Structure 1
Amino acid sequence: MSSIRKRPNGAWRARYRDPDGREHARHFARKVDAQTWLDEATAAIVTGQYASPAAGRVTLGEFYRPWAARQVWAPGTAKAVDLAVRDSGLDGVALGTLRRSHIEAWVKRMDGRGLAASTIRTRVTNLRVVLRAAVRDRVIPSDPADGVTLPRRRRRDAAMTIPTPAEVGAMLAAAGPFAVAVALAAFAGLRVGEICGLQVGDVAFLTRAIRVRRQVQRAGGGEASVRAPKAASERDVHAPDELMALLGRHVGEHRPGSDPARWLLVTDDGRPLTQDTARHLWDATRAAAEEARVAALRPGADSGMPLSGHRFHDLRHYYASGLIASGCDVVTVQRALGHASPTITLSTYAHLWPSAEDRTRTAAAGLMTAALAAGEARADSLRTGEA
């Protein structure tokens, strides 16, 4: 319900009621301005984009803190969203006055600090989670970060580093007891948190499968938080005999016992390995492997790419590339890696699958090889007959 009436002082008073029944009124010098204000409010109500003017005076921080307390988040997610809100510098800005220019200025500041394009995108995405919640609660009519231009990320095929079999072998040889973690990433595709969360009972030696049922995440203060795997990541990974044999040797040498709930990898005090500790061990593994590689080089030989350039996650890429090279389809790779959907698998590894041109070239090569072999066989038989 809305109305416009002329006041005794000559001003035009426009009124309307919002979806909650509250009345809002403003005075205008001209009737046309009053009508425009009413039309905009009515359109917002009809289209479901209405936000109360009073609600918009709430700051980003005032909205975020009680809203975040209601969310069912993993500790890592809560930490990431907290970081985005804090880093934006917009905590004290009223949501109703928040503009696209504020977000653009923040993106520019992050870029000026030298943050990677992927990091900038992640932080903006996390802030938008909050802004979209404010839209759903009708605090603001729209997301002011919508359409903000973000730094271009490198193409996945250019940014992805996949170690060679020789490099993986060198790191396995240098890893000591940590070799089991290297093997689980390179030959089963497990994430570092999933490896830290493995218990001996998760290794099914009879069926040659590794059951991913939990993961270890950071919980602050160096503590480990054991949680269920991320969405769609709970899975059974079918492992080769060689990996099962390595796991068996590791259990026998380092984790003997009868309790199936004992951790496969532990710290010196018997607690499950944390991601921070695993990365420290990975750094030591890379350094040892690089030292051995350099020592084995002939004088004057090209040193090539140092092994220290590989991340632990690159071992998971190594596993995925091996599955794809062996002819596994998208769904098979998706399930093995624990991706939520085939779309994620394709967006990450599409460049590794043979293209139509590759298949055409391979098929033509087969035809040519067969024809040349047949021609040579016929020529040999003719020469033999003449002889």
Structure 2
Amino acid sequence: MPYFRQRGDKWSFTINAGKDPITGKRKQIVRSGFNTEKEAQKAAAKIERDLEAGKRADSPTLIEFATQYFETQVKSQVTDSTYWNQWHYMSEFVFPVLGKLKLDKITYLHVEKFYSSLIERGIKRGTIKNISLVLNKTFKTAQKWQYIINNVMDHVKTPTYKPAKMKVWNTDEVKRFVEGTQGTKYHIAFVIALSTGMRLGEILGLHWDDIDWERKQLTITRSLKYDMVNRLHTKDTKNDHSQRTITLPDATVAALLEHRSQQLPGLHMVVNFADKYALPSEVSREFQMQVKRLKMTMIRFHDMRHTHATMLLQMGVNVKVVAERLGHSNVTTTLNTYAHVLPSMQKEVADKLNDVF
């Protein structure tokens, strides 16, 4: 029940609005400045109806809610780099346009105009896609925490985005690149990428004691990442799937032994000339330079991971084994990523069945 009172010639009321879903603290709604008790009663009745319908009479702004949401939930659920990237999307792009609006006042027109403004500014479609994913997650949580009844993002159409087509090398190109980069600065990083499918950060975070020489196996437990102040450091891999053991081919073991014999004693496997962590950007630039020097099909460093997976699938390796080597959480991710390989595999199956029948 609202509590009404008169101070001077003005009326006010207080309503108990239950507990805040974030802080758990008791919340009260206070309104004042009414000329008559009847005006105050009418306003209080509307707020009570809204509360019963699930609306919030004290909806926060997008900045206020997102700050709480990121601090209380996102920070504890994702890696530091992911947290920093998502917060960057909100603070750099979303807050300047939508941040000061109350959550329940943001309409689908607001969001669609926001997306249009990003396109006009020349922001890449891939970046806009990432912004939309963070914005969707934020509004979904706001609805879950009962700050809004309807999720405006359910009615917004995200601008279309087509990822760049994956480029991979064939086995002849792989051999040519490995042979052509022998003796170069980061040759061992290239060999590891092509023969294991590891990510660049995982390669640069490797220690020599991660290798079991007898079993010819390499265990991945950490990755080299940038922290929130742009400093390099190693961090444990983000989940159990990323923490994995990969069996190495003999040629890779031989390359590692050769690399170790020429390297100064130390903990890290891939280092720069100052015996410190190699910068990911530096290794990527060196890779691009070597590709140009050898006049090969231009691909990204990360595409060596795709090349590894494609070669395995074309060799008929079980997709579950491929998923395990790549550190995918499930086989579906692998199948969706490398669907382009499946048509040729289907032909191989048909050819083998022809031999049987």
What TM-score, normalized to structure 2? 0.79
Task: Provide Cα deviations, 1:182-236, integer angstroms capped at 9, x if missing partner.
Answer: 1111110000000010011112221111111100012266521210112220000
Task: Provide Cα deviations, 1:11-61, integer angstroms capped at 9, x if missing partner.
Answer: xxxx986443867699999xxx999986664343xxxxx4x221x1x2222
The corresponding residue for 1:122 is 130
Q: Residue 356 and residue 268 in structure 1: after superposition, are their counterparts in 2 closer, same or farther (change >3 A)?
A: closer
Residues 80 and 126, structure 1, Cα contact 8 Å, conserved in 2 = no
Match of 2:66 among 64, 67, 89: 64
Residues 17 and 28, structure 2, Cα contact 8 Å, conserved in 1 = yes
Residues 51 and 57, structure 2, Cα contact 8 Å, conserved in 1 = no
**SS of corresponding position for 1:145:** helix
Q: Within 5 Å, give how 1:154-169 maps onto structure 2.
A: 154=162, 159-169=165-175
Q: Are residues 1:253 and 2:242 paired?
A: no
Q: Within 5 Å, give how 1:347-366 maps onto structure 2.
A: 347-354=336-343, 358=347, 361-363=350-352, 365-366=354-355
Residues 18 and 27, structure 2, Cα contact 8 Å, conserved in 1 = yes
The corresponding residue for 2:11 is none
Task: Provide Cα deviations, 1:269-289, integer angstroms capped at 9, x if missing partner.
Answer: 322223222222223222322
- How many angstroms apart in 2 are the aligned matches of 1:279 and 1:357? 35
- How many angstroms apart in 1 are the aligned matches of 2:247 and 2:263? 23
- C-alpha displacement at 1:82, in angstroms? 1.9
Amino acid at match of 2:310: S
Q: Are residues 1:284 and 2:273 paired?
A: no
**SS of corresponding position for 1:227:** strand
Residues 187 and 243, structure 1, Cα contact 8 Å, conserved in 2 = yes
The corresponding residue for 1:203 is 211
The corresponding residue for 1:138 is 146
Match of 1:53 among 53, 57, 76: 57
The corresponding residue for 2:9 is none
- C-alpha displacement at 1:346, in angstroms? 1.8
- How many angstroms apart in 2 are the aligned matches of 1:311 and 1:282? 8
- C-alpha displacement at 1:152, in angstroms? 3.1
Residues 132 and 143, structure 1, Cα contact 8 Å, conserved in 2 = yes
- C-alpha displacement at 1:356, in angstroms? 8.8
Q: Within 5 Å, give how 1:1-387 maps onto structure 2.
A: 18-20=17-19, 41-44=51-54, 50=55, 52-54=56-58, 56=59, 58-70=60-72, 71-72=75-76, 73-85=78-90, 86-88=92-94, 89=96, 90-154=98-162, 159-175=165-181, 176-219=184-227, 223-231=231-239, 232-255=241-264, 257=265, 262-290=267-295, 307=297, 309-354=298-343, 358=347, 361-363=350-352, 365-366=354-355
Amino acid at match of 1:162: V
- How many angstroms apart in 2 are the aligned matches of 1:174 and 1:103? 51
Residues 62 and 102, structure 2, Cα contact 8 Å, conserved in 1 = yes
Residues 53 and 96, structure 1, Cα contact 8 Å, conserved in 2 = no
Q: Residue 199 and residue 165 in structure 1: after superposition, are their counterparts in 2 closer, same or farther (change >3 A)?
A: same
Task: Provide Cα deviations, 1:141-189, integer angstroms capped at 9, x if missing partner.
Answer: 34322342223333x7x71111123333343344413111111111100
Q: Residue 83 and residue 310 in structure 1: after superposition, are their counterparts in 2 closer, same or farther (change >3 A)?
A: same
What TM-score, normalized to structure 1? 0.73
Task: Provide Cα deviations, 1:64-117, integer angstroms capped at 9, x if missing partner.
Answer: 334433422423212211221121232222222222222222222233344443
Amino acid at match of 1:213: T
Greater C-alpha Rg: 1
- How many angstroms apart in 1 are the aligned matches of 2:347 and 2:18? 60
Task: Provide Cα deviations, 1:238-258, integer angstroms capped at 9, x if missing partner.
Answer: 111111111111111124x3x
- How many angstroms apart in 2 are the aligned matches of 1:180 and 1:235? 20
Amino acid at match of 1:110: L
Residues 217 and 274, structure 1, Cα contact 8 Å, conserved in 2 = no
Amino acid at match of 1:191: R
Amino acid at match of 1:60: L
Amino acid at match of 2:81: G
Gaps of 5+ in 1: 3-14, 45-49, 291-305, 369-387
Gaps of 5+ in 2: 3-13, 20-25
Residues 174 and 288, structure 1, Cα contact 8 Å, conserved in 2 = no
Residues 188 and 256, structure 2, Cα contact 8 Å, conserved in 1 = yes
Residues 18 and 28, structure 2, Cα contact 8 Å, conserved in 1 = no
- How many angstroms apart in 1 are the aligned matches of 2:263 and 2:193? 19
Identity over the aligned pairs, expressed in percent?
22
